[in-house]
Amino acid sequence: MAVAARRDTRMGFAEFKRWAENRPDAERWELLDGEPALMSPPRERHQRIVMNLAGRLDALAEPRGCRALPGLGIVSAAQDDIVPIPDVVVRCGPPLPDGYAEDPLLVAEVLSPSTMSLDRGRKIDFYRTVPSLKVLLIVYSDEARVEVWRREADDWTVQALGFDGSLALPELDGTVPVRDIYRGLAV
């Protein structure tokens, strides 16, 4: 009896990039474990947190020749089948020719209830494979809480901050009060 061989249909980054180029601009797609995943529009509270954070990070990044940007895909040579799009990316160097960064200094994921397990699981594992990444922020949308993942040599440390805490960012020569991230929101 002959058995048909099943072809692996998972995409790698190069194939995903070609595929995504033909999608409408209004659509945002991530590649997760080789499968394209359409991102739903975030809620207003989520977007307010993203805007507050991006503004504060950009103010710190700009004097160093860096910038904070939303919506960039992150690429790692160590894992070709995942291209997440964090809420905020800080990167330095010349502008990218496309929307994919291999060299982020900092990424921030603002958690939504529907994406929490993915953002705190698979994506953290992925981000830890990006050599240039020094800081990963996990920002909660339903409470004033920020987890700061920082690369220390070959390991990572994690620190949790509450509303009255202050996010020290020596990589950007500054700090961001957690309260500023939640400015304009009931916490």
Cβ atoms within 10 Å, residue 20: 20
pLDDT given for residue 15 in this prediction: 94
pLDDT given for residue 100 in this prediction: 95
Q: Count H helices, E strands: the chain?
A: 5, 12
13-46 tens-digit pLDDT: 999 999 999 898 888 898 999 999 988 888 999 9
Residue-by-residue DSSP string for 105-140: EEEEEEE-TTTHHHHHTHHHHHHTT-TT--EEEEEE
Q: Percent of the chain, pLDDT > 90?
A: 78
82-119 tens-digit pLDDT: 999 999 999 999 999 999 999 999 999 999 876 666 66
109-148 tens-digit pLDDT: 999 876 666 667 788 999 999 999 999 999 999 999 999 9
Q: From 28, 121, 154, 132, select the one nearest 77 (Cα to Cα).
A: 132
For 44-181, CATH number?
A: 3.90.1570.10
